[in-house]
Structure formats: structure tokens, C-alpha cells
Amino acid sequence: MSRTPLAERLRRLEQMRVLERRATSRGRPTEYRLTVAGRELQQIIDQFGEWGARWAFGPPRPNELDPIILLWWMRRRVAADRISRRRVVIQFDFRRAPQQSYWLLIEPNDVSVCLKDPGFDVDVIVTANIMTFYQVWLGRLSFPDAVRKNLVHLDGAPADIRAFPTWFTWSPMAETVRAALGGRRTARIGQTRPTRPDTKPLAPRIAS
């Protein structure tokens, strides 16, 4: 999404009192937080998402691949209790996204989605096709499989690379998606399994 439509969307959500803009120190990017109304709306969206994951979700379409929404989802699922450091900066280099780099700034009391470099040392750089990372987040592809197949690449200190998957609790819909996909695969296997040909019962043999 280009900056102009994004700014218009954020302004509209602010006017509807779903988001509120927080003042930041000079040189730092503008921050947006969900209001009480926004948090209640998020619960409704999560319920719709769970229903869709079970009954309607397919792979995301190209026009649904919004890196800002993806990082906003990730922001809400940061496992802060698993991060002992004062600050963690993750840079996401998404191929086929409107801009090359995005950042998550994780601090003890806040997590920010940044469209500009926040100005701190980057701890982990994540490089992936935006479609691939959507599939990982939604549970259609496991993170270890994506790394093993070189679909997602991590750069950083070895300890941070190992810890990266534990910094998130991932999508609350991922388990539902995986269960739905497993059920569909099982159903397809059952439908394609060859049936045994009908056989005529053998006539009883009568000993003479």
C-alpha cells in the first residue's frame, strides 16, 4: 500500500475513534494505538477470522497482501515475556511489497510498526516474499519448513536467529487453519482411494 492511501486509512480510523495517534519525540515515527473501541472491534474481527479459517480461507490473493496489516497482526502477538532485552529491532525485507523494508520496534512497554528506520541497531533481518510470510503467519506453512526450504531467510546473531520464532505467539488462527487443511487433505485422500472391485461370492462346494 502506498503512503497516501495508508495515511488516509489511518486518518479515517482515527476519526472513527478506532485508533489514536500518540505524540513521539522528534525524529521518531508517528505511533498509532488501538482505542477501547478498537480493541473491542479486534475481538469481532478475530472471531470472523476464526470462522473464515475453518470454512472459507484459501491462499491470500495478491491484492490482500498488505505488509502493514501483517506487521500490525504480528505486533499484537509479540511474546514480551520471552524477550529479556531492553530493545529489539526487527527489519522485514519483503519482496513484492510496496516498499522494501519495514520495522518492528519492541520495547518493554510498547511495540511499534515503523515505516521508516527507527534509528537503532537492527537485531534480526527477515527476508521473504510477502506471500510466503503471509502463509507462515496464517498457518498454511510452518516457519521451520519455510526456513529449511530457504523461503524465509534470517540474518543476525546466531542466538537471535534461534530465538526469533519464540518472540511471537503467531496467529491465533494458525492452529485452526492447519486443522482445516489437515481435514481437507484427509477428505481428498478418502475420495481418491481406489475402491475394491466387486467380487461375486463363490458358490458353495459340496463334497461328494
Q: How confident is the model at residue 51 (pLDDT cuts 50, 70, 90)?
A: confident
Q: Per-residue pLDDT for 89 more than 90? A: yes
pLDDT tens figures, 133-191 = 988 888 888 899 999 999 999 999 999 999 999 999 877 666 666 666 665 555 455 55
pLDDT at 28: 65
Contact 96, 130 (CB under 8 A): yes
142 vs 207, more confident: 142
Cell reading at 139: 498457518
Pairing of the two strands 124-129 and 152-156: antiparallel
Q: DSSP E strands: which ranges in the chain? A: 19-22, 31-34, 88-95, 101-107, 110-114, 124-129, 152-156
Mean pLDDT confidence for 114-130? 94
Mean confidence (pLDDT) of the chain: 80
CATH for 3-176, options being 3.30.300.20, 3.90.1150.10, 3.30.1050.10, 1.10.10.10:
3.30.1050.10
Q: What is the pTM of this model?
A: 0.63
Rounded CA gap, 56 and 53, in Å? 6
Contact 177, 53 (CB under 8 A): yes
Smallest Cα–Cα separation from 32: which of 121, 110, 148?
110
Sequence spans of domains, the chain: 3-176
